[in-house]
Amino acid sequence: MNDLSAPSQITYRAVPVRPAVARRIRGLSDQALAWLFITPTIVLLLAINIFPLMWTIYLSFTNFRANRANAPTIWLGTDWYQSILTDPDIWAAMQVTAHFVIWTVLIETVLGFGLALLIDKKFRGHGMWTTIILLPMMLSPAVVGNFWTFLYQPQIGLFNYVVAFFTGRDASSFQMLGDVTLSPWAIVIVDAWMWTPYVMLICLAGLRSIPDYIYEAAEVDRASNWRQFWSITLPMALPFIMLAVLFRGIENFKMFDMVNLLTGGGPGSTTEVASITLKRAAFESWRTGYSSAFAIILFVTVFGLANIYVKALNRVKNR
């Protein structure tokens, strides 16, 4: 793009009056215009993002309950934080979340990278098939969760039928969403179905960014395919893979919609990820102060983890 526009640059640079004219036109009004352009966005974000966040922080130190807004608000200090960090139920929810994040990201990365390698071979019709593969990630997670509950129905669902067909089990003998051991996997399957294409797309961009001459040089050196993969493809695509892992990790850490529709956290609390716990505390038991504190803990966690990860990502990029 920049190379293409180079000739026009030269044309305009050659006009001798330009600096003087430009200065006259810019002047003070430019700075004013810049603020005029940027301020509305900043104001909106302050009003609907930052202000609520500050309010959450304030509420997390109080005993406020949204369903009893007129009751006197008492300042509690860090009580909620202490009780949350020592609550075994919260740790259980965090563990469920961690399992969910690790498994989905792992499966999606392996599958997505594999698919990207295949699509990169540029077989005939790869554009069309790629678009088809990309469809699930464009859908609403809530709607996806809802129609998978239909596919998971033990008596009538397609998923159970297919599994029963291939394994010879009775289709109504297992309930993907009602079974303690199966339900976490039910969510992992849907998430992998939906988001593998996302990882695939980013990995594909990574593979396409590797210049051909590196492979040509490797070919001249008679490096084996396997060797080329380990010493060129994987390291060169690694920053992209890590970017995909980062995005998926953050998203799945706060995953709410799909889990809420598929299992609602059940059976028991086997699929109760952090957002579900948070929603229950905030909008079912109306423990506003408590849930605010939990929200802040989650936010800090995801921010902290993301920052550590971005540091690692930069180290890989600069290598």
Q: Binding to another protein (CB under 8 A): which residues in 112-141?
A: 115, 117-119, 121-127, 129-141
Q: Which residues contact 232 (CB under 8 A, 6 or more apart)?
A: 210, 214, 215, 218
Largest CA distance in the chain: 84
Instruction: Considering only residues 6 through 65, tell me which ones interact with another protein, judged by CB under 8 A.
Output: 8-9, 11-12, 15, 17-18, 21-22, 25-26, 29-31, 33-38, 40-42, 44-45, 47-53, 55-56, 59
The CA distance from 267 to 278, in Å, is 17
Q: Which residues pair with 75 in a beta bridge?
A: 62
Compute the least distance from the CB of residue 48 to another protein, in Å. 4
Q: Which is nearer to another protein, 10 or 86 (CB)?
A: 10
Task: Tell me the backbone φ, ψ of residue 75, rounded to 5 degrees.
Answer: -75, 125
Compute the least distance from the CB of residue 88 to another protein, in Å. 22
Compute the least distance from the CB of residue 85 to another protein, in Å. 17
The CA distance from 296 to 31, in Å, is 37
Residue choice 79, 236, 266, 279 for contact with another protein (CB under 8 A): 279
Q: How is residue 110 written in tokens?
A: 């392996």
Compute the least distance from the CB of residue 82 to another protein, in Å. 19
Compute the least distance from the CB of residue 319 to another protein, in Å. 18
Q: Count how many residues are written for the chain.
A: 319
User: What single letter denotes the amino acid at residue 313?
Assistant: L
Q: Which is nearer to another protein, 222 or 319 (CB)?
A: 222
Does 288 bind another protein (CB under 8 A)? Our answer is yes
Compute the least distance from the CB of residue 205 to another protein, in Å. 5
Does 292 bind another protein (CB under 8 A)? Our answer is yes
Q: Which is nearer to another protein, 36 or 98 (CB)?
A: 36
Residue choice 74, 110, 156, 312 for contact with another protein (CB under 8 A): 156
Residue choice 92, 94, 182, 250 for contact with another protein (CB under 8 A): 250
Does 201 bind another protein (CB under 8 A)? Our answer is yes
The CA distance from 65 to 58, in Å, is 13
- Terminal C-alpha separation, the chain: 26
* Contact by Cβ (8 Å): 209, 239: no
Residue choice 90, 105, 171, 237 for contact with another protein (CB under 8 A): 171
* Contact by Cβ (8 Å): 41, 27: no
Size of the site for another protein (CB under 8 A): 117
Instruction: Considering only residues 75 through 104, tell me which ones interact with another protein, judged by CB under 8 A.
Output: none
Residue choice 81, 103, 174, 193 for contact with another protein (CB under 8 A): 193
Compute the least distance from the CB of residue 17 to another protein, in Å. 7
* Contact by Cβ (8 Å): 288, 59: yes
The CA distance from 82 to 289, in Å, is 13
Compute the least distance from the CB of residue 20 to another protein, in Å. 11
Nearest to 79 by CA among 279, 278, 289: 289
Does 142 bind another protein (CB under 8 A)? Our answer is yes
Does 234 bind another protein (CB under 8 A)? Our answer is no
Q: What is the DSSP secondary structure assignment for residue 71, as one 8-state letter?
A: S
Stretch that binds another protein, among 84-92, 94-102, 175-183, 242-250 (CB under 8 A): 242-250
Task: Tell me the backbone φ, ψ of residue 256, rounded to 5 degrees.
Answer: -130, -55
User: What single letter denotes the amino acid at residue 26?
Assistant: R
